[in-house]
Amino acid sequence: MLDKFGNPEGSDDGAVDDGATVSKCEMKRPVSMSDKDIESSKELCGSDILSALDSKILPIDLSEWGGHAYIRVISGRERDKFEASCLDRKGRKDLADVRAKWAFLILCKKDGTPLFTSRGDIAKLAGKSCVPLDRIFNLGTDLNGMSQDDIDELMENSDAGQ
């Protein structure tokens, strides 16, 4: 099976991680595009990028809670705020209720409307079964392009993540 870069899964061939990544939302990228890919692809300008409809919503089975809901791709700003919420005031990792925070952020209706709007719902979600919360976390991090390295970095050096 091939990954999104056309390489065999598990292979890093054709992708670089030069440490110059500005945003954790940026995933490993191809070293270059082939001439054929360039010819068949539009060169983007800033307005193309800013007007692109790049959100995605997928259904998720939550049969433990009696049905299903949807999860969504979050914005770069939302990702930054989520990651910042995993730090205490001194900058140390604080992963208390991390799955509930993630579920609060990405669970939505089919039209993308958030299921939860009150921050108080995070504590209530944290008291729910870890099975669907883990499913939301795992599928949601995958949908949002969080690599295993991103997740490991988020979880390392934290009492809640150990």
149 confidence band (pLDDT: 50, 70, 90): confident
133 pLDDT higher than 80:
yes
Domain around 139: 57-155
Residues 40 and 61 in one domain: no
Residues 79 and 32 in one domain: no
Residues 111 and 136 in one domain: yes
Query: Is residue 10 in a domain?
Result: no
Query: Is residue 7 in a domain?
Result: no
Among 31, 25, 60, 39, which residue's Cα sits nearest to residue 132?
60
Domain count within the chain: 2
- C-beta of residue 144 within 8 angstroms of C-beta of residue 74: yes
Mean pLDDT of the chain: 82
pLDDT in the model for residue 155: 75
Residues 39 and 118 in one domain: no
Residues 61 and 77 in one domain: yes
pTM of the model: 0.71
- CATH code of the domain in which 80 resides: 3.30.2220.20
- C-beta of residue 136 within 8 angstroms of C-beta of residue 102: yes
The per-residue pLDDT for range 9-65, each reduced to its tens digit, is: 554 433 333 333 334 444 445 558 888 888 899 999 999 999 999 889 999 999 999
- Percentage of the chain with pLDDT > 70? 77
Q: Among 6, 23, 51, which residue terminates a domain?
A: 51
Residues 71 and 145 in one domain: yes
Residues 62 and 121 in one domain: yes
Least confident of 13-22, 86-95, 129-138, 151-160: 13-22
Residues 97 and 20 in one domain: no
Among 122, 117, 143, which residue's Cα sits nearest to residue 55?
143
